[in-house]
Structure 1
């Protein structure tokens, strides 16, 4: 069993509460629990357990305040509703909570690239999920670093090579961060599967930067 992560390791500091909108929501600036999983020579995943403290507070506010929509997509011969809700903010400063800017800045400082955009998915229960996919337009780039922050209940996160085959599974809890880097979006696909066991709601917060020309 993995030990509980410790926030505020040596050198870490609690953020100015004006940056978090006065919320008790704190990210570990040192990424002290990060484990890097090398998928191959050019693709990797950082799994950061307990990166965010106070995820339940943030989740409740985002469920209430974000602009959620039910999207549809064409599959084979018909249009179907996506089994999740989505809220997208091309300018993260327009998102409903100031703490999201603080999280984006913390990620930007660590990975040394700007995170200025946010899209969020709301998995309402165990019947919601996603199929195998890569994030667009990052899958058109030679390399990309895409952080995904989980809020809420524990769900499985799977990743496998684009041609198919065996997948790796991460059991992701509320407050955990999964970061896909290198050629991960180009050479791999990921999914959050539906499950038979009942489950409560989960939000995934996906951070990205300006969309460069591939």
Structure 2
């Protein structure tokens, strides 16, 4: 896969990606209604090397979905690794473990799956939504997102209306949405006409069996 990618001035593509400490380096942003967002810029060092490896090694798929009585292409490439699957890079295995250590593995809140999204250009996006838990959005949950590659803007807004908060994420940044965030707020990576490079996001989530199953 060939894409134009501007590496970070602070990264060495020949160096191995590493994880910084979490602990007190994580800043919590209270969003209201029981929702919160944890932010840890630059958690993955030499993250551009990780971007290059994932871009080449991950089995990317172009998904389609039904929308407004027609089938449309999902505007990004995706890949998913379920519970017990080997993740596509050892750094992601460590990231999943460190996240679980940091958040203490509360009941039903252990990070077990990893979904990857490849945003190739500013035309690739994900619309406003809250992540489902099973078949619905009726429980508190956590979603941890690691971003590598060029920065894109993660937008967050209350479902009932209110201020939209924007967080640029890329080059090894970590954000964790928690509490009621998926029920009370929506998030999106919106299309942009600005010249932006490619980005890969890795979303770690707990594994929820379908409700009623």
Partner of 1:115: 111
Query: Match for residue 45 of structure 1?
Result: 37
For the residues of structure 2 that align with 1:200 and 1:41, how far apart are their CA atoms?
A: 35
Tell me: CA distance 1:187–1:41, structure 2 relative to 1, closer, same or farther (3 Å): closer
Higher relative contact order (CA 8 A, sep 6+): 2
Correspondence for 1:5: none
CA contact (8 A) 1:92 1:100 kept: no
| TM-score normalised per structure 2 | 0.84
Indicate whether 1:70 and 2:66 are aligned: no
Alpha-carbon spacing, 1:83–1:92, altered in 2? closer, same or farther (3 Å): farther
Is 25-34 or 160-169 further displaced after alignment? 25-34
Match of 2:190 among 188, 193, 204: 193
Whether 1:158 aligns to 2:155 is: yes
CA RMSD in angstroms comes to 1.8
1:91 Cα deviation after fit: 3.1
- Uncovered stretches (5+) of structure 2, i.e. residues with no partner: 1-14
Shift of residue 166 of structure 1? Answer: 2.8
| Aligned-residue offset at 1:28 | 2.0
SS at match of 2:129: coil
Note the alpha carbon deviations across 1:141-189, whole angstroms, 9 max, x for none. Answer: 4211110010010111100112344311111231111100000011111
Q: How much does 1:209 deviate?
A: 1.9
Q: Secondary structure at the match of 2:190?
A: coil
Residue number in structure 1 paired with 2:86? 94
Task: Give the Cα–Cα distance (whole angstroms) in 1 for the partners of residues 156 and 72 of structure 2.
Answer: 24
Counterpart Cα distance in 1 of 2:22 and 2:133: 29
Distance 1:129 1:31, change over 3 A: farther
Using the alignment, how far apart are the partners of 1:43 and 1:64 within structure 2? Answer: 36
Q: Which moved further from structure 2: 162-171 or 182-191?
A: 162-171
Indicate the residue corresponding to 1:124 in structure 2: 120
Instruction: Quote the Cα distance in structure 2 between the aligned partners of 1:156 and 1:57.
Output: 21
Which ranges in structure 1 are unaligned for 5 or more consecutive residues?
1-22
State the match for 1:211 in structure 2. 208
Give 1:33 shift. 3.2
Equivalence for 1:8? none
Alignment partner, residue 199 of structure 2:
202
**Structure with more of its chain in strand, by fraction:** 2
